[in-house]
Amino acid sequence: MTAIETKKLYDRDFALWIEETVKHLKEGNYSQIDLENLIEEVESLGKSQRKAVKSYLIRLLEHLLKRRYVMMSDCYRGWEIEIINFRQRLLLELEDSPSLKNFILENLPKCYQKALENVTDSYPDSDFPDFFPFPNDVDELLNKNNKFKD
């Protein structure tokens, strides 16, 4: 299959396009590879992973804020379970891509503001801090032993 045929295959049958692309890569048939679409797909993988990390981080921060600042003891256990879950998801992402730790640090202020907006809307009677009340260290933030309770 020529590179032109492989490029057309991308639009017709994505799964087969992947199969053919992997086959060409393994065989070293680089001239047969649809580089344009391959580059696009690899870029989208990175974007997708960063989007997931941001989403997990926002959700973690929301639950940490609720657990610390919302006085609803009947909800504490549920929020603590969610904190565990989102920490685990972030740790799994970091296990595969340790360089995302820097991405988390860079996005922490923006993610905190989003989390703060979300919980403020949901719990308008609670007093949440405008400043980031948790450690700016990713390892400490994701440490399962840190409860961040007053």
The average pLDDT across 46-58 equals 95
Confidence of residue 3 (pLDDT cuts 50, 70, 90): low
Per-residue DSSP letter, 13? -
Task: Report the mean per-residue pLDDT for the chain.
Answer: 92
Nearest 5°: CA angle at 118, between 111 and 68?
Answer: 85
Q: What percent of the chain has pLDDT over 90?
A: 81
Whose structure tokens read 């904190």? 83
Phi, psi angles (nearest 5°) of residue 42: -65, -40
End-to-end CA distance of the chain, in Å?
64
pLDDT at 146 over 80: no
* Long-range contact pairs involving 77-83 (C-beta distance under 8 Å, separation at least 24): 80/147
Mean pLDDT throughout 74-101?
A: 96
Q: Is the pLDDT of residue 65 over 90?
A: yes
21 with 52: CB under 8 angstroms? no
